[in-house]
Structure 1
């Protein structure tokens, strides 16, 4: 009887949603046909997804992962659509928890240190040179932390981890595919230290595309290895294609920092996931061969040698006269020395420079081109210490996940179900590799101000935190939830 009432309620809700969407779609279509069609289709889909996500909350955060490009869509109140979607996903996960779905947050060291980093940002805001920008960055910390917590609560087992991991791969594949349609005639100057017409996809500049591609490459390879070992052919094809698109976009972005980050990430993946070493070598070799073949067949002569020239420029002694990184790093150091404890305020680096906080002249800079110096300038030694804590705790959790027993471990050895151990180890290693790529590129760049990259980064951090929680939640087996039974 109760089940019939629930089904009747869902049916009535669905009918009402279709009716409202039809009326709104017809009314809006008179002004904008695409928007009207979007409402007509989108509203019922969102209602159905919400109802399903209450039963299996991982679907809510997976929806966020599938459409990270919403970070580029601006909405009123100076925010982006992705922030609203994250807030909606958090609400759905909370509602699901009230119905007993998912899992309790429990003790999550990663969430704790992230919360501490957010508190550090709030303290730095008290002395900020640009309070409004700092408050927006504080809100980003809060939204990101909420997404991480929601992911931990929504992933009750290995199946949920896999669903979200595949969703991250597919969302990242779309981002990388968008860049392959915007390849134009590249022109190199100063021994390829300066290249114009680099593709950027939906991003505002090529280095942002490079970071996204590096994350998708590292994460996609790890997940494709997992699904291949589980003999899930369709998922292996999808995640493998995502990794291939990530590799293509990474090479074509010509972002040397992203190349370095991807190399670091792949090394981390090989260390944390031994199963990935042979597939990693084969995939990278074949992938680079395919990309080089693609580049070599371009009709523009200037494109054929641009990749090798860009690689050579990494060790070239000839500098780009337009590269202001040394001055930006000096500015960041000056701000850190002048405001060592709390910094000049989150996202207040340009305001501090423009207001003459240091001796370096202001030149319209937006960030320090270095993740660590930039955070140090804006949040001081306290922020840098907590960033180190985040990295350290994440690395420690990744190493603990790596020690989960192999599926072939003998009786009495494993405290975690074999299937769950493999999934947890693989997703953890893939997420750690993706974050290593971010940190590696962060040595020479700071593209994390982009809202799309922020969403991707929080998703990856959330998956790493979820792996640690799944590992310790129920040692007697892999739970299933809702209609996944």
Structure 2
């Protein structure tokens, strides 16, 4: 533990990383590691035990037996839980009304239900700023594990595009998925960097360098584009952080990226500006053709969609390219490669609206929350710094998801729901503290007003007594 002198009446800094003593939060921390880093899949004996499922069941059981350790009021402190509940309803309705009830039901129960349970448990497990930072650390450490596995364990191979080699054999991730996870992690790592002691700063810096190197080996153009946008937002919008720190953080990431970039990486990135020559624009299974077909699915199933988890089935059975199966042509059951299109095509237009609201509404809402917070909290106690800096970095992470998520299918994966859970926890701990601060300010203003009126009344009484002259 470290301590600092009291600043401006703030509570003493007892250290920014406190490990909770209860099993719910410990299990959720470990579940985040298993879910985001996918590290158990590297060890077949551990993977066979399905550790993520065991941790999730353990967290649910611990929550059931220790309900007093949870803050259920958090679910009403922000609007994100309501939007996620709306997505849940839309997903449930899409099951019987989509193109394959069995396929959707299986996906909902096997995949989406676990995502929802995980997100809601994290929401109610955040009792204060230190709990919030504890769960952010879980994501950051997960990104660190994934980064260094990408640098030291995973192989890179030529994907056959004629450009750079890229990561291959990543278990259930591909290189684009890894890029999304890591770009989202950059602002969160900056948060832990600025709210930690010496050891935490060193670990965060080490992870930040690993992220830069892993992004290079991933070779994802979507991740690179997201990195550029996140970097520009951080550089030009995060004025609360000194320019030297902003430039230093970006320079560290770019240095690691340049150092680890495989041959052909920069030529691959240059194709971003010449998309018309890219296979994604010309081939039937390029992203443009897939997105066009996806819009067609959404317009043909506008209210309830294809059914959650049914996009690939539609590609293999309903699309015009599926007719090639009758002629012996190639038919692929492809994913939508766009999180927003995935939500719209599988849940219908209502699902698209809800998902876009969750992403972009969270960005706008968190920025508005930061505008209400006193800037003096940057120099306050550790909890005030956690709240203020979280309100700065969470929307940047969500911007990273909005960009990189437009090139991968993550509408029903953990990442965006975990970010929404963090923001819900931020609202839950920030708003009461802000209300208390405003209440104290109001009391001081009221006290000053009463004192002023008392002094004015005394002066008037004295003047009146003098005007009456001496007593008879």
TM-score (norm 2): 0.75
Gaps of 5+ in 1: 1-49, 296-302, 411-416, 478-485
Paired residue for 1:435, among 369, 373, 398? 398
Paired residue for 1:242, among 207, 227, 230? 207
Cα distance in 2 for partners of 1:95, 1:272 equals 42
Gaps of 5+ in 2: 1-18, 324-330, 438-472
Cα distance in 2 for partners of 1:147, 1:183 equals 28
1:156-182 superposed Cα distances (whole Å, 9 cap, x missing partner):
111112222122211221111111124
C-alpha change, 1:197 and 1:120, in structure 2 (3 Å) is same
Q: Note if contact 2:378-2:385 (Cα within 8 Å) is conserved in structure 1.
A: no
Cα distance in 2 for partners of 1:384, 1:185 equals 35
Paired residue for 2:253, among 284, 287, 307? 287
> Is 1:218 paired with 2:187?
yes
Cα distance in 2 for partners of 1:440, 1:340 equals 24
1:420-445 superposed Cα distances (whole Å, 9 cap, x missing partner):
33201222433332222222012233
What is the number of residues matched between the two proteins?
A: 398
Match of 1:265 in 2: 230
CA RMSD of aligned residues (A): 3.2
Match of 2:388 in 1: 425
Paired residue for 1:378, among 337, 340, 346? 346
Q: Note if contact 1:120-1:382 (Cα within 8 Å) is conserved in structure 2.
A: yes
Deviation at 1:224, TM superposition (A): 1.3
Cα distance in 1 for partners of 2:169, 2:195 equals 30
Paired residue for 1:366, among 330, 334, 342? 334
Q: Note if contact 1:124-1:342 (Cα within 8 Å) is conserved in structure 2.
A: yes
**Whose Rg is larger?**
2
Larger mean Cα displacement after TM superposition, 104-113 or 263-272:
263-272
Cα distance in 2 for partners of 1:96, 1:366 equals 43
Deviation at 1:122, TM superposition (A): 0.8
For residues 467-482 of structure 1, the aligned pairs below 5 Å read 467-474=426-433, 475-476=435-436
Deviation at 1:419, TM superposition (A): 3.5
Cα distance in 1 for partners of 2:225, 2:159 equals 20
For residues 396-411 of structure 1, the aligned pairs below 5 Å read 396-403=364-371, 404-407=373-376
TM-score (norm 1): 0.73
Deviation at 1:380, TM superposition (A): 0.9
Cα distance in 1 for partners of 2:410, 2:123 equals 26
For residues 38-437 of structure 1, the aligned pairs below 5 Å read 52-54=21-23, 57-68=24-35, 69-70=37-38, 81-98=51-68, 100=69, 102=71, 104-107=73-76, 108-139=78-109, 140-182=111-153, 187=158, 192=163, 195-199=164-168, 201-227=170-196, 232-270=197-235, 271=237, 274-275=240-241, 278-295=244-261, 303-304=262-263, 306-316=264-274, 317-320=276-279, 324-356=286-318, 358-361=319-322, 363-403=331-371, 404-407=373-376, 418-437=381-400
1:342-376 superposed Cα distances (whole Å, 9 cap, x missing partner):
111111012123332x4453622331122222221
Match of 1:35 in 2: none
Q: Note if contact 1:406-1:421 (Cα within 8 Å) is conserved in structure 2.
A: no
- 1:265 is paired with a residue whose SS is helix
C-alpha change, 1:418 and 1:66, in structure 2 (3 Å) is same
Q: Note if contact 2:307-2:346 (Cα within 8 Å) is conserved in structure 1.
A: yes
Deviation at 1:121, TM superposition (A): 0.8
C-alpha change, 1:311 and 1:352, in structure 2 (3 Å) is closer
